[in-house]
Structures are given as structure tokens and as C-alpha cells.
Amino acid sequence: MKTELVRIGNSRGVRIPKPFIEQCGLGETVELRIANDCLIISPGRQPRQRWDDAFRASGHAADELILEITEPNEFDHKEWRW
């Protein structure tokens, strides 16, 4: 599909047809990037989106804190103060 660039102040914009928006799952924000001289528009992602899934897939227990399983070292015994 060909479309025209729309003037928006000193910038330009593209009107994206509603069926394209729905099919791509675009929301209020999008990510823009350039690859091989092409502009790619993809759904915007929240920071750290799906990190919890990746952590669970890594095989680590989510409620196990490293500080609870690590033995105290010389710094802990001599220098650390609460």
C-alpha cells in the first residue's frame, strides 16, 4: 500500500489504516527503528516487559535472595555496620 507523508509542523507523519493497527497490535505508543534503510514500526513495549517470564525460565527460584545464601566474607565481619 502506498500512502503520502502528512506535514506535522516541521516533521512528517504517516496515517496508518485501522486494520493495520489492529493486525499489528499497535497501541498508543510505538517503537521506531531503521534496518536496511527501512523504517520499522512495531508495538511499543513497557520497560522490563516479560522479564519475570525470562527469570522463571532461567531456572532460578524467584523468592531466593542471593544475600541469604551467600556466606559472610571479611568485609561483612570487619567493616559492615548496620
Would the pTM count as exceeding 0.85?
A: no
Q: Which amino acid is at 55?
A: F
**78 vs 47: which has the higher pLDDT:** 78
Task: Tell whether domain 5-78 is in CATH 1.20.120.
Answer: no
pLDDT of residue 79: 82
Taking the domains of the chain in order of start, what are their residue ranges?
5-78
Q: In terms of Cα–Cα distance, which of 50, 51, 30, 53 is closest to 42?
A: 30
Q: Which of 21-30, 39-48, 60-69, 71-80 has the lowest mean pLDDT?
A: 60-69
pLDDT band at 56 (very low <50, low <70, confident <90, very high): confident
pLDDT of residue 81: 74
- b/e 6-44 (16+ beta carbons within 10 angstroms → b): eeeeeeeeeeeeeeeeeeeebeeeeeeeeeeeeeeeeee
pLDDT of residue 67: 63
Q: Which of 35-39, 40-44, 76-80 has the lowest mean pLDDT?
A: 76-80
